[in-house]
A and B are shown apart, each in its own frame.
Chain A
Amino acid sequence: MAIGQISVLLIALAAVHLPLGAYLARVYTSPKHLRVERAGYRLMRVDADAEQKWSSYLFSLLGFSMASLLFLYALGRLQNHLPMSLGVSAFDPAGAWNTAVSFVANTNWQWYSGEAAAGHFYQMAGLAVQNFVSAAVGISVAIALIRGFQRSGTDGRLGNFWSDLTRTCVRVLLPMAFLGAIVLLATGVIQNFDSHTAVQTVTGATQSVLGGPVASQEVIKELGTNGGGFFNANSAHPFENPTPISNLFEIFLILVIPFTLPRTFGIMVGDKRQGWAILSVMSSLWLASVALLTWAEMSGPGAVARAAGGALEGKELRFGTAGSALFAAATTGTSTGAVNAMHDSLTAPGGGVAIFGMLLGEVAPGGVGTGLYGLLMLAIVAVFVGGLMVGRTPEYLGKKIGRQEITLVALYILTMPLLVLVGTAVAIATPAGQAGIQELGPHGLSEVLYAVTSAANNNGSAFAGLTAATPFYNTLLGVAMLAGRFIPIALVLALAGRFASQRTTPTTAGTLPTHQPLFVGLVAAVTVVIVGLTFIPVLSLGPIVESLT
């Protein structure tokens, strides 16, 4: 059955790959604005035609994110006064801040429980809007980097952030989300503005019937690789993910843009083979993670799974072990962090693979946009390593990788491990951090490692046994989310600016070809080796020791 549903998924992804990839390339290269966009720009009072240098592009991006942050913080603090607030109370400052950072940074880490602590309007007009725009920010950065490769000898202009942001929302995410929401509605995901009212059950007890605009948020939560659940149980909740069909559809939504962007990249740099090479790296790493997770959950090692006769703790019966493993691989291979099973209860090797997927930097296939630019960074490292081997100045797509370029890439590569390792060390070394740990021994370390990894990689899923709704974790994870999002973005844009002003070097017989299987293998190896060298010690003390117990 595992093979059956993976096949259905791969066929669906393959079917949309070419047309969607081409469509995206047209969206970001077309000189024309749509009429609705032009009307929007007039209301926004921004110049959507001005080409921006990397620093202006970055300033606009940061300004927009700052505005989002302040707006969402205010909404959280005032949510009890908003319409359809269901009688919830306002978020406290630390909680409102954590959630604002979390949704603006495309992480969607949630310390609160949606059905108990969030009003409909706050979710719909605050959180769900960030699900669109934070995804659009990620895609915009990837497109700006592609333009850096495309352009030669310019003064370093990379396009217009406001235009990229608006087009991504209007031409890509909104139409896809609208159609997807109707599919989800048909499977049973709810969409209403009712409050939670109690009914009398068959046995005379009472149970609340939940309401909310869930379908419209669920679809963009997956499509934008956000992951913030309308309800506490996230995509395990029957109102968010009612059937095996909705489950596979949601997995498809998570993966469709990340797996399509390499095609857009190939088209835009004028060499589709380059896109295939990137796609091959992503696919092979992701399929390895699917295989390992599926094996782990279906074979069910560990004391709990053996006692029960199967690894069904923390899993929904309608998805089963295979449908849960596939979702877990999709959500941690991207920056989504939605869950249809409780990851804290995954088998030890399964949970280890989930952490490893995030530690790869979420490049297989990664979040919308972030996955592509993350993997292109690793491709540059691979080119650099290859160049050192043959003793030539390394080049990628005709761009020389000199001292300054590789410095930016190195800083990019180091940011996430620094946040993860220092953050984990701080949490396990301080009483405030230790206080949140639920499980004794290696699984306790895994809980903390998972949380910090999830925050620094903007994933947002959790080993939820960890009590993270404390000022300590709200602050620590808030810093990790913010730094893990915007430092890499700044470095990518700086690099893109350098590339755009560099003259493209013509390919010669000595140039390392970057579209052949050898290069695919090299990039995959570089990716795994970097993660391995950085994280083997901490993984050994956590998930690996657990798996061997």
Chain B
Amino acid sequence: MAHDNNSSVHPAGQRSLGLRRGSVSLARQTLAGFRVLLVLTVLLGVIYPVAVFAVGQVGLRWQANGSLLLADGSHADTRSTGAGTDNAVVGSALIGQQFTGDEWFHPRPSAAGDGYDTLASAGSNLGPLNLDLVATIEERRAEVSAADGTVAGDVPPDALTASASGLDPHISPAYAAQQAERVATARGLDQAAVTALVAEHTAGRDLGVLGEPRVNVLELNLALEKMSS
């Protein structure tokens, strides 16, 4: 409670003097601000993220390095795992990939670059009344129902809409179920086996109440590939 390093109560007649004092004081405080910022940057901008990194590399390595998957569907702790072999890293369990062709389960439409471009994560940002988007949705509905052989009205909304990130790794169980017959036929597999595979890769809501039931498309397709070989 001892002193005030800037007693800036000035009589009304000394306004210009007050202003000058004010700017000198602000310059001095800015210099102090630089010193404070420097110390805090070392603590919060270097030591702290490195400490979190250390915890990750010791205890949660797979997650910290991007939840990477090998071609056989198993986990990889680093990107170089299996490099140069048939069983190299093919992507991340958390990041969707583009799949076209009858032999694959298809992901949601994506607005990230040309589709699932991780260097350009984005949604379409089209508005709720946008008529071009309405037309696009109708086109997608026709395409999907033709490809999967389902009634147009039954195509679930996730098959018709672009996600927020453009990298959504999931589709709804309904959309996966709808694709099972097409995939089984294209691969010459038993449809019941493919449907069972979908069920195996369906996750419910977290803790029973959080989020939505979902199927991870990359993991499902990797399992499918394993089953086919």
Contacts and interface: CB of A to CB of B under 8 A. Distances in A.
B184 interface: no
8 contacts: A5-B210, A7-B209, A192-B64, A205-B97, A209-B95, A318-B168, A344-B126, A351-B128
B194 interface: no
B35 A43 contact: yes
Contact of A193 (B33, B53, B98, B218): B53
Interface in B1-21: 1-9
B40 A316 contact: no
Interface string B95-118: 111111100100010001000111
Interface of A: 1, 4-5, 7-8, 40, 43-47, 49-53, 55-56, 59-60, 62-68, 70-71, 113, 115-116, 124-126, 128-129, 132-133, 157, 162, 165-166, 169-170, 174, 177-178, 181-182, 185-194, 196-197, 199-203, 205, 207-211, 213, 215-217, 231-233, 236-239, 242-245, 247-248, 302-305, 307-320, 323-324, 339-342, 344-348, 350-351, 438-439, 443, 446, 463-465, 546, 549
Contacts of A439: 126-127, 130
Contact of A67 (B34, B44, B164): B34
Interface string B43-72: 111101101110111001001111110010
B187 to A, nearest CB: 14
Contacts of A215: 52, 56, 64
Contact of A304 (B94, B116, B137): B137
B94 A342 contact: no
A5 B63 CA distance: 25
A66 B126 contact: no
B79 to A, nearest CB: 6
Given A129-B45, A308-B161, A309-B156, A549 B33 contact: no
B222 interface: yes
Given A63-B30, A66-B30, A233-B122, A546 B129 contact: yes
Contacts of A115: 118-121
B209 A8 contact: yes
Interface of B: 1-9, 22, 25-37, 39-41, 43-46, 48-49, 51-53, 55-57, 60, 63-68, 71, 79, 88-101, 104, 108, 112, 116-131, 133-134, 137-138, 155-158, 160-172, 205-212, 214, 218, 221-222, 225
Nearest to A323: B211
B32 A63 contact: yes
Contacts of A202: 71, 90-91, 97, 99, 218, 221-222, 225
Given A67-B36, A207-B116, A314-B162, 15 more contacts: A5-B209, A43-B35, A47-B5, A64-B32, A124-B45, A125-B45, A210-B66, A232-B121, A245-B207, A317-B170, A323-B212, A342-B125, A345-B124, A346-B128, A351-B128
B57 to A, nearest CB: 8
A317 B120 contact: no
B165 A63 contact: no
A79 to B, nearest CB: 14
B66 A209 contact: yes
Contact of B40 (A116, A129, A191): A129
Contacts of A200: 88, 90
B52 A191 contact: yes
B163 A317 contact: yes
A487 B208 CA distance: 46
A316 B216 CA distance: 13
Given A56-B4, A199-B89, A242-B94, A318 B29 contact: no
Contacts of B167: 233, 237-238
Contacts of A187: 63
Most chain A CB within 10 A, of B1, B95, B129, B130, is at B129
Contacts of A8: 207, 209-210
Contacts of A351: 128
A340 to B, nearest CB: 7
Given A45-B32, A71-B37, A116 B128 contact: no
Nearest to A51: B1
Given A59-B26, A323-B211, A207 B97 contact: yes
Contacts of B221: 202
Nearest to A229: B121
Given A63-B33, A202-B221, A216-B48, A244 B205 contact: yes
B93 to A, nearest CB: 8
A231 B121 contact: yes
Contacts of B90: 199-202
A304 B133 contact: yes
Contacts of A346: 128
A59 B8 contact: yes
Nearest to B222: A202
Contacts of B211: 5, 243-244, 247, 318-320, 323
Contact of B97 (A65, A203, A210, A315): A203
A203 B5 contact: no
A204 to B, nearest CB: 10
Contacts of A126: 45
A64 B126 contact: no
B161 A132 contact: no
Contact of B127 (A178, A211, A236, A465): A465
Nearest to A120: B49
A209 B41 contact: no
Contact of B118 (A59, A188, A207): A207
Nearest to A346: B128
Contacts of B39: 40, 43-44
Contacts of B164: 233, 236, 314-316, 324, 339-342
A505 to B, nearest CB: 24
Given A236-B163, A304-B126, A133 B37 contact: yes
B159 to A, nearest CB: 9
